[in-house]
């Protein structure tokens, strides 16, 4: 019995969300008194593969197939299921990012494994196998007990810290034959739409709403994000009227994020917006209206006009960055 982690990579490197999932997998393995194995793309460099040892994998198993270069939920889930069988793994862990959402439920159903989608904490094993997850779109948490011996967990990105040691992992090639009919999707085009920092991975997020008056005023928002190394986000109406791309829309009907710092500028703080961001560690609100509901969910607030406060704050952040680097 071991714990298997689906270790996704992009441009030859493991993702931040993968490192989180391996760290989490290692902790689950320790709880269960077993080892953490990572499943990775055999096309990666040997040194990159072995580097998963640093975050807790004792072994990295790899699978290589030309067609795996394109994402296909059915084929990927076939590979993970086979790898789980071959490595005798009973607990399978995914980062619940975009790819995890496509692959993990298929694996869970194939293995008839109880599945917790969007875990935010380690399992409690004193009485069953109970995992905490987000529910009601960020307004609550639910604790799921997994009743089956095989278990699948999808870990919410940005919810588990990455810790590392000097250990390295052994690397082993798995011989998995993928039947042609498992490949079901033909990819025609791939378009990168976000900036360098993925919104769901971002530790710092600068977000703005209708208080910005128009898309032409987003320069100072982007500038703040640049100074801080943050990702940008927005409220729903701003995306709906095309001031900002849809991929930036956070909230109950958009993306749920949990960065260390969320700066909300000219956003009123409607319940649907708060649902997507209230798991942020620290929230800063800048709003002209001291009655804006967002202040109730904030740690720090400035009652003031964004057009005056933001340029001043950018100057202050720039000064801070210059002094601290």
Partner 1 sequence: MKILVCISKAPDTTTKISFINNNTEFNNDKVTWIINPYDEWYALVRALELKEVNGGTVSVISVGGADYEAILRKAFAIGADDGVRIDANPTDAYFVANQIATYAKAQGYDLVLCGKETIDYNSSQVGGMLAALMDLPYISLATKLDVAGNEATVECEIEGGKEICSVKLPAVISCQKGMAEARIPNMKGIMAARTKPLQVIPAAASETLTEIVKYELPAEKTGCKFISPDNVDELVRLLHEEAKVI
Lay out the site mask for partner 1 across 246-275 (x = CB under 8 A, - = otherwise): xx-x--xxx-x---xx---------xx--x
Contact 204, 231 (CB under 8 A): yes
154 Cβ neighbours under 8 A, 6+ residues apart: 93, 94, 95, 96, 100, 101, 104, 115, 116, 117, 118, 119
Which residues inside 245-284 make contact with ligand FAD, applying CB under 6 A?
Answer: 251-254, 266-268, 270, 272-273, 276
Which residues inside 286-325 make contact with partner 1, applying CB under 8 A?
Answer: 295-305, 308-309, 312-313, 315-317, 319-320, 324
- Paired tokens of 303: 């009652």
Q: Which does 308 bind (CB under 5 to 8 A by kind): ligand FAD, partner 1, none?
A: partner 1
Q: Which does 118 bind (CB under 5 to 8 A by kind): partner 1, ligand FAD, none?
A: partner 1
Question: Binding of ligand FAD at residue 237 (CB under 6 A)?
Answer: yes
Among 189, 291, 322, 325, binds partner 1 (CB under 8 A): 189
3-state secondary structure of 17: helix
Between CA 317 and CA 285 the distance in angstroms is: 16
181 Cβ neighbours under 8 A, 6+ residues apart: none
Give the Å distances, CA to CA, from 312 to 231, 279, 288. 20, 27, 15
Among 7, 49, 113, 257, binds partner 1 (CB under 8 A): 113
Q: Which does 238 bind (CB under 5 to 8 A by kind): partner 1, ligand FAD, none?
A: ligand FAD
Contact 266, 209 (CB under 8 A): yes
> Using the 8-state DSSP alphabet, how is residue 138 labeled?
T
- Name the CA dihedral angle for 270, 273, 279, 280, rounded to a multiple of 10 degrees: -100
Closest separation in Å from C-beta 98 to partner 1: 5
> Pick from 80, 92, 85, 99: which is nearest to 22 by CA?
92
Closest separation in Å from C-beta 173 to partner 1: 25
Which residues inside 61-80 make contact with ligand FAD, applying CB under 6 A?
Answer: none
Between CA 173 and CA 13 the distance in angstroms is: 18
Please report where in the chains the tokens 């991975």 appear, as a residue: 201
Among 112, 216, 322, 325, binds partner 1 (CB under 8 A): 112
Question: Binding of ligand FAD at residue 211 (CB under 6 A)?
Answer: yes
Q: Which does 123 bind (CB under 5 to 8 A by kind): ligand FAD, partner 1, none?
A: none
Q: Which does 211 bind (CB under 5 to 8 A by kind): ligand FAD, partner 1, none?
A: ligand FAD
Question: Binding of partner 1 at residue 217 (CB under 8 A)?
Answer: no
Among 141, 218, 307, 317, binds ligand FAD (CB under 6 A): 307
Contact 84, 107 (CB under 8 A): yes
Contact 254, 270 (CB under 8 A): no
> Pick from 26, 49, 29, 51: which is nearest to 39 by CA?
49
Question: Binding of partner 1 at residue 143 (CB under 8 A)?
Answer: yes
The residue (of 112 and 175) whose beta carbon lies closer to partner 1 is 112
The residue (of 39 and 292) whose beta carbon lies closer to partner 1 is 292
Q: Which residues bind ligand FAD (CB under 6 A)?
A: 144, 209-211, 235-238, 251-254, 266-268, 270, 272-273, 276, 286-289, 292, 305-307
């Amino acid at each position: 019995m071991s714990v298997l982690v689906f270790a996704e990579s992009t441009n030859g490197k493991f993702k931040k969300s993968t490192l989180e999932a391996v760290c989490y997998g290692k902790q689950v393995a320790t709880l269960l008194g077993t080892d953490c194995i990572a499943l990775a793309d055999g096309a990666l460099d040997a040194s990159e593969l072995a580097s998963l040892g640093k975050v807790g994998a004792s072994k990295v198993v790899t699978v290589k197939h030309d067609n795996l270069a394109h994402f296909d939920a059915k084929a990927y889930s076939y590979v993970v299921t086979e790898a789980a069988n071959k490595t005798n793994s009973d607990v399978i862990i995914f980062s619940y990012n975009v790819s995890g959402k496509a692959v993990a439920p298929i694996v869970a159903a194939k293995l008839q494994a109880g599945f917790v989608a969007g875990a935010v904490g380690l399992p409690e094993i004193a009485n069953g196998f109970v995992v905490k997850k987000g529910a009601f779109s960020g307004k609550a948490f639910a604790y799921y007990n997994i009743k089956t011996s095989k278990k699948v967990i999808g870990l919410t990105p940005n919810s588990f810290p990455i810790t590392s040691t000097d250990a390295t992992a052994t690397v082993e090639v798995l011989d998995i034959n993928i039947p042609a009919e498992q490949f079901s999707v033909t990819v025609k085009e791939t378009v990168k739409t976000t900036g360098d920092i993925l919104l769901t991975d971002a530790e710092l997020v600068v977000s703005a709403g209708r208080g910005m008056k128009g898309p032409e005023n987003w320069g100072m928002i982007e500038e703040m994000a640049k100074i801080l190394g943050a990702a940008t986000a927005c409220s729903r109406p701003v995306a709906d009227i095309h001031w900002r791309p849809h991929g930036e829309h956070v909230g109950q009907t958009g993306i749920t994020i949990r960065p260390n710092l969320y700066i909300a500028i000219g956003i009123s703080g409607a319940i649907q917006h708060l649902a997507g961001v209230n798991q942020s560690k620290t929230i800063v609100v800048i709003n002209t209206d001291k009655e804006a509901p967002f202040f109730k969910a904030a740690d720090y607030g400035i009652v003031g006009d964004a057009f005056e406060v933001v340029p001043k704050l950018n100057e202050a952040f720039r000064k801070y960055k210059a002094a601290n680097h």
